[in-house]
Amino acid sequence: MADWAKVFHLFAMFESFFGSYYFVYLVDYPKSFGLEEPEFVPLKGRMRYLTYWNMVLQTIYFFIALLNDFIGSNENVPAKVPLIRKVKDYIFSSLAFPAAMYVGVTFWGLMAIDRELVFPKVLDEFFPTWLNHLMHTNIMIFIFLEMFLTYRPYPKRKRGILGMTLFLVTYLIWMHVIYFYSGLWVYPILQVLNWPLRIVFYLVSLVFGIAFYMLGEFSNNKLWSKQISQSKRSGRKKTN
């Protein structure tokens, strides 16, 4: 299992990094399309997208997971949990899993309703289909595979949800910084909503984030119930 984990983590890290690189440096939209990209936003304006933030997050997570394979521990209940393992487990539960699910589900959900609100058809000529799936489909597949591959105890719910909420709120603030300086909304759907509806949209987005966190916790608890019981027993013995 250890060798398979290393191979998987290396591949997942490389794919996320490659997708991020390709999106920034090899995807160009003709200016004639009217797709303005704020000049002050780093990396050709691509840092305005939550999809890009998530790809960077997945790259970081799988890099840390790979480090843990070599210098940490993948034991279900190690005698002493290495710091790298604690970091890996927290990032997975509070950030990597809910962010991947949020990006994938909301993207394909909005695409099904009206793709012009999130990914206009005019982009198909310059944005490869394989890259679209790499950034919006594979992320969900890979993060679920990771859940099946290695066990991790979830943090206390308040701590986990706090990390996820801070991530989403930071991104929402960033979107408004971009709008303040450029007058451009990152996503077309925000252009057609008035302020009360935008606030509702943000609140629903946060609820979605919490829901995906809970999905991860529920799935992990069902999948690794024996290991969780063993971990609790071990914790009680140490306390005694």
Q: pLDDT tens-digit profile of 76-98?
A: 888 899 999 999 999 999 999 99
Query: Which two three-digit tokens encode residue 61?
Result: 């997570």
Q: Name the band, by pLDDT with cuts 50, 70 and 90, for residue 25.
A: very high
Give me the DSSP letters along 135-190. Answer: HHTHHHHHHHHHHHHS------HHHHHHHHHHHHHHHHHHHHHHHHHHS--SSHHH
pLDDT at residue 14 is higher than 90: yes
Contacts of 117 (CB under 8 A, 6+ apart): 110, 187, 188, 189, 192
Q: What percent of the chain has pLDDT over 90?
A: 70
Separation CA 202–CA 205 (nearest Å): 5
Taking the CA atoms of residue 145, residue 149, residue 49 and residue 176 in that order, the dihedral angle to the nearest 10 degrees is 120
Higher pLDDT, 182 or 235: 182
Cβ–Cβ under 8 Å, residues 189 and 110: yes
Quick one: pLDDT at residue 122? Answer: 83
Cβ(155)–Cβ(61) below 8 Å: no
- The rounded distance, in Å, linking the Cα atoms of 31 and 126 is 12
Q: Return all residues near 22 (Cβ < 8 A) that are at least 6 apart.
A: 131
Token pair 């300086």 is found at 181
Q: What is the pLDDT of residue 237?
A: 54
pLDDT at position 234 is: 66
Q: What is the mean pLDDT of residues 22-42?
A: 79
Residue 161: CB atoms within 10 A of its CB come to 20
Q: What is the pLDDT of residue 235?
A: 60
pLDDT band of residue 240 (cuts 50, 70, 90) is very low
Max CA separation in the chain (angstroms): 70
Instruction: Tell me the pLDDT band of 238, cut-offs 50, 70 and 90.
Output: low
pLDDT recorded at residue 203: 95
210-223 per-position pLDDT tens digit = 999 999 999 999 99
Tell me which of 22-36, 85-99, 177-191 is least confident.
22-36
pTM: 0.92
Q: How confident is the model at residue 236 (pLDDT cuts 50, 70, 90)?
A: low
